[in-house]
Amino acid sequence: MDKILNVQNLRTYFHTRAGIIKAVDDISFCIHDGEILGIVGESGSGKTVACHSLMGLIPQPSAKIESGSAIFDQTDLLKCTEKQLRRIRGKRISMIFQDPMTSLNPYMRIGTQLTEALKQHTDLRGKAATDQVITTLEEVGITEPEKRIRDYPHQFSGGMQQRVMIAMALITGPELLIADEPTTALDATLQKQILELIKKLQQTRKLSIIFISHDLNVIANITDRVLIMQKGKIVESGDTAEIFQKSKHRYTKKLLDAIPTGAKQHPISTKENQQTLLELSNISTYFPVYSEGMLLRKKSFLKAVDNISLSVKSGETLGIVGESGSGKSTLARSIMQLLRPRTGTVLFNGMELQALSEKSLRSARRDFQMIFQNPYASLNPRMTVFKILAEPLLKYKTANNNPVSEEVSQLLDKVGLEHYQSRKYPHELSGGQRQRVAIARAIAVRPKLIIADEPVSALDVTIQAQILELLLKLSQEYKLAMIFISHDLSVVRYMSDQVAVMHQGKIVETGETEKIFAHPQHSYTQSLLSAAHTPIWQTNTA
C-alpha cells in the first residue's frame, strides 16, 4: 500500500506567557491508501493540534511548528504557503469536527455552504453545482435533499447536521478525511449510524481517514491502525486489534483498564428488607411552549417528564439511562424541587416535598444533594474551595462541634484532595479535581440521597474511573442512596443496583441492572444496548 501522508518529527509548540507548551512533541506517523488510522488520547494529549498543524489551522502566532515534515503527494504540507495549502485544504484533504451544531455556519443555508466548497475548488457552477450538492446529500442519507438545501443548520437534528458536515467535506472528492471526534457530541444510536456511514463512504470512495477520538470503543470498532498519544508524544502504535488485545505500553493499559466493565461489584439486592427512601408517583413536569398568536399566545406543553413513578431504597443506587432530550435531567431537577412538577408526588423519607413551603424545603434539602455534569460551570468561580465547602457546613450547622476548618480538611481527605488545595479557586484545579470538590460539597452535610447528573461525562476516561471509584466508595461508607444519571450504558451498569431506562419523558423499563442488561424487554432498551458496541478486546480475551 502506498503512503498517502507521511509525517516525520512534527513538533508544534505553544508560546505562552507561562512558557513553552510542547503540544506536539516529535511525532512521526504515516497513513496508507484506503486505511482508517485512529489517534487516541485524553484531552490535551495533542491529537487535535497535530492534525491542525498539518492543515495550517493552528492559531498563529501563539502556536508554531518548530520542525518536521508532512509529505502529501510529494508536497510538504508544512512548507506550503497559505495559498498552496488552500488548494489542498478542503479539496484533497477535508475535515469534519466534533460538534456539528457549532461547526456549521448558523447564518447560511446549508445548500450555500456546500456550494461554496464546490465553487472554491471546482469549475462547477449554477445548476451543475446544485445537482452535485443534492447527490452528495443523498449519499450521506439526507432525505429530500432538493428541499433541504434551502434550510438552515438549526432546522436539522444533531445527527443530520453531522451528515451535512460529512457531505460538505466529501463534496470535492478528497483523498484524505480528518475526522476530529466526529461522534462525541452524539447519542449512542446516532453515533452508531454515523460510524456506519463513515465506514461505508470510506469503502465506496476509497478514502483514507484519520479518526481522532478519546473513545476507545469507537476507535476499536472503526480503525485499522491506531496511535496512542499522551502529552504530545506517540506512546504506542500498531494494528488496532493487536493494540487492544496485547498492548505493551503501560499508558495504553491504563486507558483500557479505565473503561468501566461489567456489573457492580457488590450489588444490593432488592430482597434485602430495606426502607424506601424516595418514592415518586406519577410525576409529570411540562415546559410551556408558546406559539405566536394575535393577542393571546397559544400555549402547548412539552412533556419533559411524563407520568413517572420510581422508588429508591436507602443505600441503593438507581441508574437512569437515556439519550439526550429524554428528560433525565428534568427528572433530577423535579425530584430536587428545583423545578416544581405539575402533578404527582415526591415522597422523600416520609415527607411530601411539594407540600413543603420554600422555607421548610430549604432545611429539607440537607438530606438530598446534587452533583452536576460540568464541574467547570457548577462551582462558583469567585469562591475558594474552602468557601465552597464551608458554606453548606455553616448553613446547616452539622451536629458535631468540630471547627469548620477541620471538617473541610476531613472532607478533602475523603475525596482525595490535598489540604493546601482548599485555598485554590476552581479555575486553578483540573476537571477531575473540580468534580471531587463538587462531590465533597454534596456529601458535606451528610445527605441520605445524592443525585448525580452525568457526573463523569465531561471527564477523560482515566479521571472518570477515579471519580466512579470515589462515588462507589463514598456511597458504601455513608450508606448513601444515589440516583446516577448517564447516557453511558457501561458506566451505569458499573454503578447501579437498579436501572431505569428513559425515553421521551417516560420510563420504558426498570428493574435490576443485570437482568435488564441481560434480557432487555422493551424495544427501545434493546436498540440502545445494541448501539453500545461491546469492546472487541473484551470479547476476544475474555
Determine contact, residues 182/96, Cβ cutoff 8 Å: yes
Smallest gap from residue 95 Cβ to other proteins (A): 4
Smallest gap from residue 438 Cβ to other proteins (A): 27
Task: Return the C-alpha torsion angle 243, 247, 249, 250, nearest 10.
Answer: 130
- Distance CA(399)–CA(391), nearest Å, equals 15
Smallest gap from residue 6 Cβ to other proteins (A): 21
- Distance CA(518)–CA(536), nearest Å, equals 18
Phi, psi for 378 (deg, rounded to 5): -95, 0
Smallest gap from residue 93 Cβ to other proteins (A): 9
Smallest gap from residue 77 Cβ to other proteins (A): 13
Smallest gap from residue 125 Cβ to other proteins (A): 16
Angle at 453 between CA 481 and CA 379, to 5 degrees: 105
Smallest gap from residue 113 Cβ to other proteins (A): 8
Using alpha carbons, select from 268, 324, 259 the residue that is nearest to residue 491: 259
Closer of 152 and 376 to other proteins (Cβ): 152
Smallest gap from residue 169 Cβ to other proteins (A): 8
Closer of 23 and 429 to other proteins (Cβ): 23
Closer of 47 and 91 to other proteins (Cβ): 91
Determine contact, residues 142/149, Cβ cutoff 8 Å: no
Closer of 297 and 419 to other proteins (Cβ): 297
Cell numbers at 287, concatenated: 415546559
Cell numbers at 436, concatenated: 471531587
Closer of 89 and 503 to other proteins (Cβ): 89
Task: Return the C-alpha torsion angle 104, 107, 111, 115, nearest 10.
Answer: -80
Using alpha carbons, select from 165, 173, 140, 7 the residue that is nearest to residue 76: 7
User: Got the DSSP string for 442-460?
Assistant: HHTT--SEEEEESTTTTS-
Using alpha carbons, select from 491, 471, 489 the residue that is nearest to residue 529: 489
> SS3 of 511, please?
strand
Smallest gap from residue 84 Cβ to other proteins (A): 11
Residue 269 forms beta bridges with which residues?
A: none
Residue 319 forms beta bridges with which residues?
A: 484, 499
Closer of 95 and 149 to other proteins (Cβ): 95
Determine contact, residues 417/438, Cβ cutoff 8 Å: no
Closer of 81 and 265 to other proteins (Cβ): 81
Determine contact, residues 488/282, Cβ cutoff 8 Å: no
* Residues in Cβ contact with 114 at an 8 Å cutoff, skipping those fewer than 6 apart: 133, 136, 137, 149, 164, 167, 168, 171
Closer of 77 and 259 to other proteins (Cβ): 77
Phi, psi for 245 (deg, rounded to 5): -90, -40
What does the DSSP 8-state code read for residue 105? -
Closer of 87 and 519 to other proteins (Cβ): 87
Binding residues (CB under 8 A) for other proteins: these are: 55, 57, 85-91, 94-95, 97, 99, 102-108, 116-117, 120-121, 152, 154, 165, 168, 292, 294
* Residue 300 Cα distances to 291, 303, 331, 514, angstroms: 8, 10, 20, 39
Determine contact, residues 37/202, Cβ cutoff 8 Å: no
Closer of 296 and 542 to other proteins (Cβ): 296
Smallest gap from residue 290 Cβ to other proteins (A): 13
Closer of 89 and 214 to other proteins (Cβ): 89
What is the DSSP pairing of strand 176-180 with strand 63-72? unpaired
Smallest gap from residue 192 Cβ to other proteins (A): 24
Smallest gap from residue 89 Cβ to other proteins (A): 4
Closer of 161 and 464 to other proteins (Cβ): 161
